[in-house]
Amino acid sequence: MKPFKPPRALATNALIGVCVLVQAVVTVGGTRLGERLAFSWGLIPARIIAAIAGRTDALPAILTLITHQFLHGGWLHLGLNILFLAWVGRYVEWVVAHKGLVALFLTGGIVGGVAQILSSPHSGMPVVGASGAIAAVFGAYAMMFAGSRVGDRRVLGIAVSGDTLTSLWYLAAWIGLQLLTGLVFNSGGGSIAIWAHIGGFFTGLVAARIWGRAPAALHGEDRR
């Protein structure tokens, strides 16, 4: 059997490229442009709630559920995100193909944004970054490639599979790293949108359940 030759991760590279391009424009434009973009196209929970209530135009506010994913609070914030996307995105893309990866990325960012809105509906501060979107890709990767050896358990009386427990450890590590980076470097000068991470991650878990595990060839296994 011929060894597996992975296809080019076109969607992963394209998503990284868009994020880098946007950050480069912000850097050239300066702090004032960055703030204007964050408040115009970042996700502001109070604005979304006002749009739902009919107090403001709905379309621009709803669009920020997507546009906020491509804005970041600086190069460090962006760098950490694209590092993880470059790592896990290509593996997930091999399983779900280019369109599937883009759909997962955007859906994870939207669900993560909704989760963040529900956690702080009256906040007027913009949420920016692809963390929720990448958390979805990360969650799918955890389910597809973790190869858990943890047995099924009951948590608070609820049956939880070993794969899910392993994936939750991935989530804890991902959020922990984000928090540590934010505390040490104060990336973007703001707080970490925890619920965006959680919402995105669980989106990835659900998507992976639909798509199933990665083929054995992607794990480097002999399929004779």
The span from the first CA to the last CA of the chain, in angstroms, equals 7
Report pLDDT for 88: 87
Q: Is 30 left (phi over 0), alpha (psi -120 to 50) or beta?
A: left
User: What is the separation of C-alpha 172 from the centre of its chain, rounded to a whole number of angstroms?
Assistant: 14
Span 178-198, mean pLDDT? Answer: 63
Residue type, 2: K
Q: Tell me, yes or no, whether 64 lies in a domain.
A: yes
H-helix or E-strand spanning residue 5 = none
Q: Tell me, yes or no, whether 181 lies in a domain.
A: yes
Q: Tell me, yes or no, whether 191 lies in a domain.
A: yes
Structure tokens at 97: 């193909």
Confidence of residue 113 (pLDDT cuts 50, 70, 90): very high
Q: Tell me, yes or no, whether 224 lies in a domain.
A: no
- Alpha carbon separation from 110 to 88, 128, 130, 193, 198 (Å, rounded): 19, 12, 10, 13, 12
Q: Is 220 left (phi over 0), alpha (psi -120 to 50) or beta?
A: left
Q: What is the mean pLDDT of the chain?
A: 80
Q: Which of 9, 22, 149 is nearest to 87 (CA)?
A: 9
Q: Which of 68, 116, 163 is nearest to 171 (CA)?
A: 163
Q: Tell me, yes or no, whether 164 lies in a domain.
A: yes
Span 86-109, mean pLDDT? Answer: 92
Residue type, 195: W
The answer to whether residue 76 scores a pLDDT higher than 70 is yes
Q: Tell me, yes or no, whether 37 lies in a domain.
A: yes
Report pLDDT for 180: 62
CATH code of 113's domain: 1.20.1540.10
The answer to whether residue 12 scores a pLDDT higher than 90 is yes
Helix (H, G, I), strand (E, B) or coil at 174: helix
Confidence of residue 196 (pLDDT cuts 50, 70, 90): confident
The answer to whether residue 1 scores a pLDDT higher than 50 is no
User: How many independent structural domains does the chain possess?
Assistant: 1
Fill in the DSSP letter of residue 55. Answer: S
The answer to whether residue 4 scores a pLDDT higher than 70 is no
User: For the chain, what percent of residues have pLDDT higher than 70?
Assistant: 71
Q: Which of 174, 182, 178, 115 is nearest to 140 (CA)?
A: 174
Confidence of residue 198 (pLDDT cuts 50, 70, 90): confident
Structure tokens at 120: 């702080």
> What gap in Å lies between CA 168 and CA 139, rounded to an integer?
9
119-165 pLDDT tens trace: 999 999 999 999 899 989 988 888 887 655 545 555 455 555 556 66
The answer to whether residue 203 scores a pLDDT higher than 70 is yes
**Enclosing domain of residue 24:** 10-219
Higher pLDDT, 12 or 167: 12
Span 163-174, mean pLDDT? Answer: 66
Report pLDDT for 183: 55
37-57 pLDDT tens trace: 999 999 999 999 999 888 877
Report pLDDT for 60: 87
| Alpha-helical segments (H) within 3-158 | 10-29, 31-41, 45-52, 58-67, 75-119, 131-145
What residues contact residue 56 under an 8 Å CB cut-off, 6+ apart?
47, 50
Residue 5 backbone dihedrals phi, psi, to 5 degrees: -110, 105
